[in-house]
Amino acid sequence: MSKLATDHGAINLSQGFPGFDCDPHLLDLVTKYMKAGFNQYAPMSGVPVLRERLAEKTKLCYGVEYDFEEEITIVSGATEALYAAVTAVVKNGDEVILLEPAYDSYAPAVLLSGGIPIYVPLRLPDFSVDWDLVKSSITERTKLIMVNTPHNPSGHVWNQNDLNTLAEIVQDQDVYVISDEVYEHIVFDGRKHLSLMTHPILRERTFVCGSFGKTFHVTGWKIGYCLAPKELTKEFRKIHQFLTFSTATPLQYALAEYLENSSRYLELPLFYQDKRDLFLEGLRQTSFKFSPAEGSFFQMVSFGHLTDESDRNLAVRLTKEIGVASIPVSVFYQGKTDHKLLRFCFAKTDRDLEMALEKLAKLSF
């Protein structure tokens, strides 16, 4: 959809990346470390000072301690973390539970390891987890459950009951968990992100995957991390070593220094809530139906009451005729299930959001 947006000069609210630059100070820090000669390979697990800062951040945000030497690994993007974690534990014939709609890298990673994806749909309209369905999907071959909160594409955020129920399900099973938490600092309306690491049962069997790119508006840097218990980290690093080996050195040192000021991530929810609210106010002038996103920088809208048109066709038409690009939510389902939903990314400049909303208000069916 991004290419289609470019081809037709549309405002791109499809792909999930910020439409604005990062803090200039962060760029200055990268330049500083480049000029200081930090341009050779970083240690495979990440530069120690960044892993230390990440351990401190984790303790501050979640009250959980990780050993920066043996339980924290810096990687080339959260997608690499997800892939390495899957590959570390999934073997041929293992079943992996995927809650869909799901980010599109999950299933390919499972299949490349010889695993069998078991698709469990989230409940509509709020995209909460049907835990009875999850429990009934577990068999003696289940090796892994992949979860995502805040959720892409729906913006749903887990609560404490979700963590407790998942813990009850896996505590007597030989089942691991991968938790995709790249939007951990983008939650709204006073909610708190409840990382799976905060539950003692889950902490001992979970790979928590995060993203500096999503948090600090530098998705093009492809830099993320994985937090996991010592024994899981050993297996994770065996894969990471032969995927990318290490991640850009000056970026790591720059992020380590940047993390010294906690307000740079603690204030992020308010920054994105302002953008979400601006976008919602404009959506109220359209014919779409929606529930405000609880987290992430995505907002879904429903159009089934307006037309029988497929979500893919509508997304293409919006891009070509109206000049606003979105993502049809059916692409997040293995069977391309069409619930008549579109996903918009509101991590854009206010001006771009306002122009997009003006265009959407003129849409007719």
Reported as a single tens digit per residue, the pLDDT across 1-43 is 777 877 778 999 998 999 999 999 999 999 999 999 999 999 9
Read off the pTM: 0.96
Reported as a single tens digit per residue, the pLDDT across 268-323 is 999 999 999 999 999 999 999 999 999 999 999 999 999 999 999 999 999 999 99
pLDDT score recorded for residue 6: 79
H/E element holding 144? Answer: strand 142-148
DSSP code for 290: -
Is residue 227 within 8 A of residue 178, CB to CB? The reply is no
Domains in the chain: ranges and CATH: 2-16+266-361 (3.90.1150.10), 24-260 (3.40.640.10)
Which residues are CB-neighbours of 256 under 8 A, at least 6 positions away? 47, 49, 50, 52, 53
CA–CA gap between residue 11 and residue 3 (Å, rounded)? 11
Res 190 pLDDT > 90: yes
Is residue 217 within 8 A of residue 255, CB to CB? The reply is no
CA–CA gap between residue 271 and residue 34 (Å, rounded)? 30
Q: Counting beta carbons within 10 angstroms of the beta carbon of residue 136, is it exposed (0 to 12), middle (13 to 18) or buried (19 or more)?
A: exposed
Omega before residue 200 within 30° of 0, cis: no
The percent of residues above 90 in pLDDT, for the chain, comes to: 95
Reported as a single tens digit per residue, the pLDDT across 82-112 is 999 999 999 999 999 999 999 999 999 999 9
H/E element holding 304? Answer: none
Helix (H) and strand (E) counts in the chain: 15, 12
Q: Enter the tokens of residue 347.
A: 């991590």
DSSP code for 166: H
On average, the pLDDT of the chain sits at 97
